[in-house]
Amino acid sequence: MNFKELEQRATNIRINIIKALHSAGSGHPGGSLSAADILSVLFFHEMKLDPENPKMDDRDIFILSKGHAAPVLYSALAEKGFFPAEELLTLRKINSNIQGHPDMRKVRGVEMSTGSLGQGFSAAGGAAMARKMDKKDSRVYVLLGDGELQEGLVWEAAMSAGHYKLDNMVAFVDWNGLQIDGNNDDVMTVKPIDQKFASFGWNVLMIDGHSLPEIIDALNQARACKGKPTLIIARTIKGKGVSFMEGSAGWHGKAPNEEEAKRAVEELGGVWA
- The per-residue pLDDT for range 45-66, each reduced to its tens digit, is 999 999 999 999 999 999 999 9
CA 90 – CA 93 distance, rounded (Å)? 5
| 172-219-2 Cα angle (round to 5) | 115
Residue 273 pLDDT > 80? no
Whole-angstrom Cα Rg for the chain: 17
Residue 22 pLDDT > 90? yes
What integer is the mean pLDDT of 97-103? 97
Residue 3 pLDDT > 90? yes
Contact 1, 41 (CB under 8 A): no
pTM of the model: 0.97
Q: Which domains does the chain have, with CATH numbers?
A: 3-267 (3.40.50.970)
- The per-residue pLDDT for range 163-206, each reduced to its tens digit, is 999 999 999 999 999 999 999 999 999 999 999 999 999 999 99
3-class secondary structure, 209: coil
| The predicted structure's pLDDT at residue 1 | 75
Three-state SS sequence of 178-189: EECCEEHHHHHC
Q: For the chain, how far is it from start to end, CA to CA, in angstroms?
A: 29
- The per-residue pLDDT for range 121-148, each reduced to its tens digit, is 999 999 999 999 999 999 999 999 999 9
Percent of the chain with pLDDT over 90: 99
